[in-house]
């Protein structure tokens, strides 16, 4: 069995208040934190080739800038893949046969996979949830599948990811406290089974991913306290706050996050799952979160909702029809360096595929650049001022939507 | 008024049989011929950013390779834009205000625009065709528009293209000889009006595009002979064979092309409009054609029909599900260098936008590489052998579709 250390290490480099500047090391490179992980649901960050993904951000777009270097300014250091979607298409067996998700998509940096729990409880037709696991039917073709702590870990291990997530039950918003509590207790039992499954897989295969546990408890802070303690005492490589972004009001999510983050051990990375807006990321960093993922930059890109340093831009707006300025004058992504708002509007209005491509390049670059700025600010003890300045511009009068 | 020479020059560098190796010089760079022009209907080669377009082909994908050099191996030297589509969206006035199509799409190489004639006669609802021009209604919203030799040239001039096409009537396949003849005669009168309109625009604006005339005559070789003579005697900068790819059988198209090409003046570029398959391009080159355009590589890419040196590949075919080989082992485009057939199939089957992107990168690169090979073969007097070798492999047993 491999040691935990060889799978993942976390260095806490600096603190600025509760905000943390850290570094996660994986078999596929280092990840400077706080970090935003673009979502590559089906082993594809939607609209982008892997080649484009590697060049995202305010890069000079030269061959040189694609080389790996600490906190480099070209492309994400880690992306997320969705276990649920990939187990259905193309399937874990095929992914394993093809050498795992890295080789499959031509990606040599780190990959984190979710456990499938969130999608099973939000997308699939549940047949039966029991202590052993969940029987469900695919949202695509109705085919029957089973996920449990053991099968999820097995699939994630076949996928060859660097960081796997423990399989959890993800209850919806608005159910009674007692039901959330029962669900949470099962998630804790599943957490222990997940660790045992990972170790067994490591023994059997000589290799297994790092494993993060997930704190549940809904919007109930007493349950979050108990869950944080239960998960933190287990030898996970990192700890996530799950069960947020499931329909609860924004303030409830923030309250849960602010309550829970300080309860998590300082020596392991902290991951807030499925969150969120640029403001949410800054709030999370302020509370001591190290890792984030969200479909917002990629999904909004396809819908023409674009993030800029001056606020959100709905590119279909007629005001941009003759606007020759770059989408975000403060950005140096390929989109902002090569075409105008007028062109982006034209592509969006005519339904060109390139609209999604240009918009995704920019939105993901915006998130990556934001987090680079966050890291630099923490390192210079100026995160508070950075956050204030960012938010005052982002919510400023030149945006055509509220922040 | 600017001289024709300053707008466009053509050098005939070498002949290998009837095949011609030439060079067209425009205000936006030189074009090595024979050349394939990717179609950028709405000022976007579908699925690609302009940045990607510039890097297509068997390039090493470094910043250095994007520099302009004779017969460089990175990206097309000329693309086509569609006047009909761009006059409707975003409109000629806006395009002119935004500095023309080059600036609009961030493209610094040459652009040829069609005249709108083909789309008016195939897409729009015709209201009235008369000597003056054509009243039609947009296929998008039914709005009324008018195209004539003069208005088409005006729009193409506002677009700022390097090469404009004379507005022609493009009759459908299968109408009587007498009707084709009447239509052809009007196209000849429109050709003279187009030249006068171009010269008037050049006088008024100090700048106007080079202008190609179009030979019509349907499948009737006697009419093609007359049309070639009529168009050739006018001072066009180049001459196109139009009215093909309108539904006629392939053999009819080839017969028209083989009959007409030798009738065109040797000192001007010859352009076969809207054609075609790789075989068609080789047949055209063999007949002395210099320029080609077709939506086939981009449209087929979106449909998962891919061109390889070993024949066509329908990427949805189950045989590729676990195929780790590059799409075309002989190709060095980004797609073939970075991902497998299995990944391309997965992206196509799951409807990922990146499927269109990867497939378009490859298909257009394939066409560009084919034409680079053609140019090298002509220069070394080996075009016949090149064509034979290409076709024997392309139609070989490893293809999963007929050629």
**Whether the Cβ atoms of residue B127 and residue B136 lie closer than 8 Å to each other:** yes
Question: What is the Cβ-side half-sphere exposure of residue B157, based on CA atoms within 13 angstroms?
Answer: 23
B303 touches chain A (CB under 8 A): no
B51 touches chain A (CB under 8 A): yes
A74 touches chain B (CB under 8 A): no
In terms of Cα–Cα distance, which of B190, B192, B194, B87 is closest to B146?
A: B87
How far apart (Å, rounded) are the C-alpha atoms in residues B353 and B350?
Answer: 9
Please check the confidence at residue A398 and state whether its pLDDT lies above 80. no
CA torsion A181-A187-A188-A192 (nearest 10°) is 170
CB-nearest partner of B347 from A44, A60, A321? A44
Q: What local confidence, expressed as pLDDT, does residue B125 receive?
A: 87
Instruction: Catalogue the E-assigned strands of A263-363.
Output: 270-272, 291-293, 305-308, 311-314
Q: Which residue has the tokens 């086939």?
A: B296
What percentage of residues in chain A have a pLDDT greater than 70? 93
A293 is annotated as an active-site residue: yes
Which residues in chain A are contacts of B353 at CB distance < 8 A?
46-47, 302, 353, 356-357
| Crossing angle of the two packed helices A353-379 and A341-349, in degrees rounded to 10 | 130
- For residue A210, list its beta bridge partners: A163
Q: What local confidence, expressed as pLDDT, does residue A68 receive?
A: 42
- The radius of gyration computed from the CA coordinates of chain B, to the nearest angstrom, equals 21
- Here the tokens at position B157 are 């001039």
What percentage of residues in chain B have a pLDDT greater than 70? 93
Q: What local confidence, expressed as pLDDT, does residue A73 receive?
A: 56
Three-state SS for chain B is CCCHHHHCEEEEEEEECCEEEEEEEECCEEEEECEEEEECCCCCCCCCCHHHHHCCCCCCCCHHHHCCCCCCCCCCCEEEECHHHHHHCCCHHHHHHCCHHHHHHCCCCEEEECCCHHHHHHCCEEEEEECCEEEEECCCCCCEEEECHHHHHHHHHHHCCCEEECCCCCCCCCCCHHHHHHHHHHHHHHHHHHHHHHHHHHHHHCCCCEEEEEECCCCCHHHHHHHHHHHHCCCCCEEEECCCCCCCCHHHHHHHHHHHHHHCCCCCCEEECCCCCHHHHHHHHHCCCCEEEECHHHHHHHCCEEEECCEEEECCCHHHCCCCCCCCCCCCCHHHHHCCHHHHHHHHHCCCHHHHHHHHHHHHHHHHHHHHHHHHHHHCCCHHHHHHHHHHHHCCCCCCCCC
**Whether the Cβ atoms of residue B104 and residue B98 lie closer than 8 Å to each other:** yes
B358 touches chain A (CB under 8 A): yes
Cβ-based neighbours of A44, under 8 Å, separated by 6 or more: A105, B347, B352, B354
- Return mean pLDDT, chain B: 93
Q: What local confidence, expressed as pLDDT, does residue A125 receive?
A: 87
Please check the confidence at residue B402 and state whether its pLDDT lies above 80. no
Cβ-based neighbours of A113, under 8 Å, separated by 6 or more: A80, A81, A82, A83, A86, A101, A156, A159, A161, A163, A164, A165, A209
A92-96, A293-297, A342-346, B243-247: the lowest-pLDDT one: B243-247
Backbone angles phi, psi at A194, to 5 degrees: -65, -45
- Here the tokens at position B160 are 């700022």
Which residues in chain A are contacts of B64 at CB distance < 8 A?
63
| Crossing angle of the two packed helices B341-349 and B353-379, in degrees rounded to 10 | 130
CA distances from A234 to A167, A189, A204, A228, A394 (A): 15, 11, 22, 10, 40
Please check the confidence at residue A2 and state whether its pLDDT lies above 80. no
Whole-complex ipTM: 0.95
Q: What is the mean pLDDT of residues B43-58?
A: 93
Backbone angles phi, psi at B34, to 5 degrees: -65, 145
Our CA-based measurement puts residue B273 at a distance from the nearest CA of chain A, in whole angstroms, of 24
For A77-106, the pLDDT digits (tens) are 999 999 999 999 999 999 999 999 999 999
Q: What local confidence, expressed as pLDDT, does residue A58 receive?
A: 57
B315 touches chain A (CB under 8 A): no
Q: What local confidence, expressed as pLDDT, does residue A29 receive?
A: 97
Our CA-based measurement puts residue A70 at a distance from the nearest CA of chain B, in whole angstroms, of 21
For A199-205, which contacts have Cβ atoms below 8 Å and span 24 or more sequence positions? Answer: A199/A1, A201/A153, A201/A154, A201/A157, A202/A1, A202/A2, A203/A1, A205/A157
How far apart (Å, rounded) are the C-alpha atoms in residues B114 and B245?
Answer: 15
Q: What is the mean pLDDT of residues B270-287?
A: 97
Q: What local confidence, expressed as pLDDT, does residue A62 receive?
A: 37
Cβ-based neighbours of A75, under 8 Å, separated by 6 or more: A53, A54, A55, A56, A57, A59, A66, A109, A368
- Any idea which residues of B carry the catalytic annotation? 114, 293
Q: What local confidence, expressed as pLDDT, does residue A60 receive?
A: 40
A361 touches chain B (CB under 8 A): yes
Whether residue A331 has a cis bond before it, omega within 30° of 0: no
How far apart (Å, rounded) are the C-alpha atoms in residues A151 and A162?
Answer: 17
A106 touches chain B (CB under 8 A): yes
Please check the confidence at residue A222 and state whether its pLDDT lies above 50. yes
B55 touches chain A (CB under 8 A): no
Three-state SS for B15-68 is EECCEEEEEEEECCEEEEECEEEEECCCCCCCCCCHHHHHCCCCCCCCHHHHCC
| Crossing angle of the two packed helices B353-379 and A353-379, in degrees rounded to 10 | 110
- For residue A218, list its beta bridge partners: none
How far apart (Å, rounded) are the C-alpha atoms in residues B151 and B141?
Answer: 20
How far apart (Å, rounded) are the C-alpha atoms in residues A331 and A323?
Answer: 16
Please check the confidence at residue A10 and state whether its pLDDT lies above 90. yes
Q: Which residue has the tokens 């935004």?
A: B98
How far apart (Å, rounded) are the C-alpha atoms in residues B345 and B128?
Answer: 47
Contact B352/A106, CB-based, under 8 Å?
A: no
**Closest-approach residue (CA) in chain B for A102:** B339
Contact B346/A46, CB-based, under 8 Å?
A: no
In terms of Cα–Cα distance, which of A249, A239, A185 is closest to A215?
A: A239
Which residues in chain A are contacts of B99 at CB distance < 8 A?
324
What percentage of residues in chain B have a pLDDT greater than 90? 90
Which residues in chain A are contacts of B343 at CB distance < 8 A?
43, 98, 104-106
A61 touches chain B (CB under 8 A): yes
Q: What is the mean pLDDT of residues B54-72?
A: 52
Which residues in chain B are contacts of A106 at CB distance < 8 A?
338-339, 343
Q: Which residue has the tokens 């096409």?
A: B165
Contact A349/B89, CB-based, under 8 Å?
A: yes
Q: What local confidence, expressed as pLDDT, does residue A14 receive?
A: 98
A140 touches chain B (CB under 8 A): no
Q: What local confidence, expressed as pLDDT, does residue A95 receive?
A: 98
Q: What is the mean pLDDT of residues B44-58?
A: 92
A86-95, B56-65, B80-89, B192-201: the lowest-pLDDT one: B56-65
Q: What local confidence, expressed as pLDDT, does residue B57 receive?
A: 73
For A330-387, the pLDDT digits (tens) are 999 999 999 999 999 999 999 999 999 999 999 999 999 999 999 999 999 999 999 9
**Closest-approach residue (CA) in chain B for A85:** B350
- Here the tokens at position A397 are 């009068």
Q: How many CB atoms lie within 10 A of CB B176?
A: 10
Q: What local confidence, expressed as pLDDT, does residue B63 receive?
A: 37
**Closest-approach residue (CA) in chain B for A342:** B104
Please check the confidence at residue A401 and state whether its pLDDT lies above 60. no
Which residues in chain B are contacts of A46 at CB distance < 8 A?
352-354
Q: What is the mean pLDDT of residues A154-164?
A: 98
Mutate to test the interface with B, among A47, A65, A345, A354 (most CBs of B within 10 A): A354
pLDDT confidence tier of residue B397, bands split at 50, 70 and 90: very low
Q: What is the mean pLDDT of residues A5-28?
A: 94
The per-residue b/e assignment along B275-287, b for 16 or more CB within 10 angstroms, e otherwise, is bbbbbbbbbbbbb
**Closest-approach residue (CA) in chain B for A341:** B104
Our CA-based measurement puts residue A335 at a distance from the nearest CA of chain B, in whole angstroms, of 9
Mutate to test the interface with A, among B354, B356, B360 (most CBs of A within 10 A): B354
For B114-158, the pLDDT digits (tens) are 999 999 999 888 889 999 999 999 999 999 999 999 999 999 999
pLDDT confidence tier of residue B396, bands split at 50, 70 and 90: low
- The radius of gyration computed from the CA coordinates of chain A, to the nearest angstrom, equals 21
Q: What local confidence, expressed as pLDDT, does residue A63 receive?
A: 37
**Whether the Cβ atoms of residue B357 and residue A353 lie closer than 8 Å to each other:** yes
């Amino acid at each position: 069995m491999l040691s935990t250390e060889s799978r993942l290490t976390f260095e806490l480099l600096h603190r600025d208040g509760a905000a943390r500047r850290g570094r996660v090391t994986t078999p596929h490179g280092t990840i400077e934190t706080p970090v935003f992980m673009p979502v590559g649901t089906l082993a594809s960050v939607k609209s982008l080739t892997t080649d484009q993904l590697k060049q995202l951000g305010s890069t000079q777009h030269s061959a040189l800038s694609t080389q790996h270097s600490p906190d480099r300014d070209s492309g994400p250091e880690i992306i997320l893949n969705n276990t649920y979607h990939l187990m259905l298409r193309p399937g874990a067996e095929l992914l394993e046969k093809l050498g795992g998700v890295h080789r499959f998509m031509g990606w040599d940096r780190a990959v984190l996979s979710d456990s499938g729990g969130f999608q099973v409880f939000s997308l699939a037709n549940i047949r039966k949830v029991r202590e052993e696991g969940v029987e469900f039917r695919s949202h695509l073709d109705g085919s029957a599948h089973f996920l449990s702590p053991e099968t999820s870990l097995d699939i994630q291990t076949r996928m060859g990811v660097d960081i796997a997530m423990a399989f959890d039950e993800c209850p919806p918003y608005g159910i009674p406290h007692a039901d959330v509590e029962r669900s949470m207790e099962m998630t804790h039992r599943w957490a222990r089974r997940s660790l045992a499954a990972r170790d067994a897989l490591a023994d059997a295969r000589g290799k297994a991913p790092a494993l993060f546990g997930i704190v549940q408890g809904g919007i109930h802070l007493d349950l979050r306290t108990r869950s944080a303690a239960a998960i933190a005492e287990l030898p996970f490589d990192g700890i996530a706050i799950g069960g947020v972004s499931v329909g609860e009001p924004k303030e409830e999510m923030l309250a849960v996050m602010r309550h829970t983050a300080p309860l998590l051990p300082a020596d392991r990375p902290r991951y807030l799952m499925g969150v969120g807006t640029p403001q949410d990321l800054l709030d999370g960093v302020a509370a001591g979160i190290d890792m984030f993922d969200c479909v917002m930059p990629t999904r909004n890109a396809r819908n023409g909702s674009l993030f800029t340093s001056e606020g959100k831009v709905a590119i279909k707006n007629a005001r941009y029809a003759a606007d020759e300025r770059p989408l975000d004058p403060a950005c140096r992504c390929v989109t902002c360096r090569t075409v105008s708002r007028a062109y982006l509007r034209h592509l969006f209005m005519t339904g060109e595929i390139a609209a999604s491509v240009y918009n995704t390049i920019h939105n993901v670059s915006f998130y990556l650049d934001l987090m680079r700025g966050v890291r630099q600010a923490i390192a210079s003890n100026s995160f508070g001022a950075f956050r204030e300045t960012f938010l005052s511009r982002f919510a400023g009068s030149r945006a055509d939507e509220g922040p």
